[in-house]
Amino acid sequence: MKHIILIGFKSVGKTVIGKRLAQMLGRTFLDLDVAVERKHGKGMSCRAIVASEGEEAFRTLESGALADILKTNESVILALGGGAVMSSVNQELLRAHTVVYISASPDALFERIMKGGRPAFFSTDLTDRKAFDKLYTEREPIYEKSAKFKVQNEKGVKDTVEKIIKILHHTS
């Protein structure tokens, strides 16, 4: 059985939606960032791994963790970090699975992200908003291309989960 993979920008709600979706469908929920931290094995957060070892090392760990999860026989709900689908290797790994792009308006995303402070992945030579806009412009077309379905997270978790379940039932 295929895995259900949730993709989208940071703070769009992939984790909370994924947990609820897993409950509703009776599946296990996994977060790729947590899997990366475990695979790294040094008790560091993803942000700390990027800061100490660089983004390339982090992305290598991320691709390895993704490949490991996708090999499992149990069909899971998996939330990916916002940048995971930017890798062509990861895009290829995802092709055989049901990929759902969870989206929200750029303004809503920017506001949610900035509540947690400036992310490590924002370009240091740009203002917060310009760094966000640059990343959004780069990532959004890749999310669109990688997903089988797109769902707006505009009315909350319950509504978004219901939309996803409806789509899954109509396509199975």
* Annotated binding residues: 11-16, 33, 59, 82, 118, 139
* Helix, strand, coil shares, percent, the chain, to 5: 60, 15, 30
Q: How many residues does the chain have?
A: 172
* Measured distance CA(92)–CA(127) in Å, rounded: 33
- What residue numbers does the annotated binding site for Mg(2+) cover? 15
- What residue numbers does the annotated binding site for ATP cover? 11-16, 118
Return all residues near 4 (Cβ < 8 A) that are at least 6 apart.
Answer: 21, 25, 27, 75, 76, 77, 78, 97, 98, 100, 168
